[in-house]
Amino acid sequence: MTLRAYQEQDSEIIASWVQDEKTLYQWSADRLGVFPLPPQALNQHYKGCDSSSFIPLTALDDEQNVAGHLFIRYPDEHDRTTVRFGFVIVAPSLRQKGNGKKLLLCALDYAKTQLKAQRVTLGVFENNEKAYHCYASAGFEKTGTYTVPIKGQEWQCIEMSRAI
What is the average pLDDT across 120-143?
Answer: 98
Cis peptide before 36, with omega less than 30 degrees from 0? Answer: yes
pLDDT single digits (tens) 94-126: 999 999 999 999 999 999 999 999 999 999 999
Q: Cα–Cα–Cα angle for 30, 42, 4, nearest 5°?
A: 125
Task: List strand residue ranges (DSSP E) for the chain, in order.
Answer: 2-5, 54-60, 66-73, 82-90, 119-125, 141-150, 153-163
Answer yes or no: is pLDDT of 35 > 90: yes
Confidence of residue 51 (pLDDT cuts 50, 70, 90): confident
Q: Do the beta carbons of residue 126 and residue 158 sit within 8 Å?
A: yes
- Alpha-carbon gap, residue 128 to 37, rounded angstroms: 19
pLDDT reading at 70 higher than 90: yes
Chain-wide mean pLDDT for the chain? 96
Which of 27-31, 36-40, 121-125 ranks highest by mean pLDDT?
121-125
Rounded Cα distance between 114 and 3, Å, is 12
Q: How far apart (Å, rounded) are the C-alpha atoms in residues 90 and 27?
A: 11
Residue whose C-alpha is closest to residue 103's, from 121, 90, 92: 90
Q: Which of 39, 22, 102, 28 is nearest to 68 (CA)?
A: 102
- What's the pLDDT at 26? 97
Radius of gyration of the chain (CA): 15
Beta bridge partners of 153: 150
Q: How far apart are CA 40 and CA 11, in angstroms?
A: 6
Q: What is the rounded distance in angstroms from the CA atom of residue 158 to the CA atom of residue 164?
A: 20
Residue 16 has pLDDT above 90, yes or no: yes
* pLDDT value at 75 more than 90: yes
Residue 34 pLDDT > 90: no
pLDDT at 142: 98
Task: Give the percent of the chain with pLDDT over 90.
Answer: 95
pLDDT-derived band at 12, boundaries 50, 70, 90: very high
